[in-house]
Amino acid sequence: MDLFMKALDKETNDLHENGIKLAFIGDLSAFSPEMQNSIELATAQTRNNQRMRLNVAVNYGGRWDITQAARSLAAACSRGEMNPADISESDLAERMMLNGHNDPDLFIRTGGEMRISNFLLWQCAYTEFHFSPLLWPDFSPEALDAALDEYMSRERRFGRTGKQIRLQAL
């Protein structure tokens, strides 16, 4: 955690100068007050930047994200703000950590692992996956180009069949 705090303190100014908004997703309550304060300061410093957004997942899990969103909906129902029968996918999505952001188009997993490891479970519903045997430090620009070329050759169907896609295009 000391290394994380040093990197955060060191990099925040550069991120800010380059117009990058820094955001953290995950359960921050598990961190020390000092760490929470550093995260809050970095977030506040870059809050209005609009060039790019850098999401840092710390103490994050997809199951945790879905659970905290469900708890938020349950609390709203218990306060009488909504009817449980009216809960929609969008209601749940609005309470997820990446609310308001596009779902990933491509998920690249390095190191030979063939799983998503509880990461962005909700958001990856229609994400395309690329699994590489290369370890992250060895994942070169050429490996990224190969992953992107593979991705570009795919037919994105978002849960539909190829036939349904072709009929919709008519």
Residue 132: which region, alpha, beta or left (left: phi > 0; alpha: psi -120 to 50)?
Answer: beta
Backbone angles phi, psi at 57, to 5 degrees: -90, 115
Task: Look at residues 40, 53, 32, 47 and name the one whose alpha carbon lies nearest to residue 9.
Answer: 40
Contacts of 17 (CB under 8 A, 6+ apart): none
Both tokens of 94, joined, read 């609005």
CB 72 within 8 A of CB 91: no
Both tokens of 142, joined, read 């050429």
Rounded to whole angstroms, the Cα distance separating 43 from 94 reads: 20
Ordered per-residue pLDDT tens for the chain, 170 residues: 778 888 888 899 999 999 999 999 999 999 999 999 999 999 999 999 999 999 999 999 999 999 999 999 999 999 999 999 999 999 999 999 999 899 999 999 999 999 999 999 999 999 999 999 999 999 999 999 999 999 999 988 888 887 887 788 77
Q: Give this prediction's pTM.
A: 0.82
Rounded to whole angstroms, the Cα distance separating 139 from 87 reads: 42
∠ CA(92), CA(94), CA(99), 5° rounding? 125
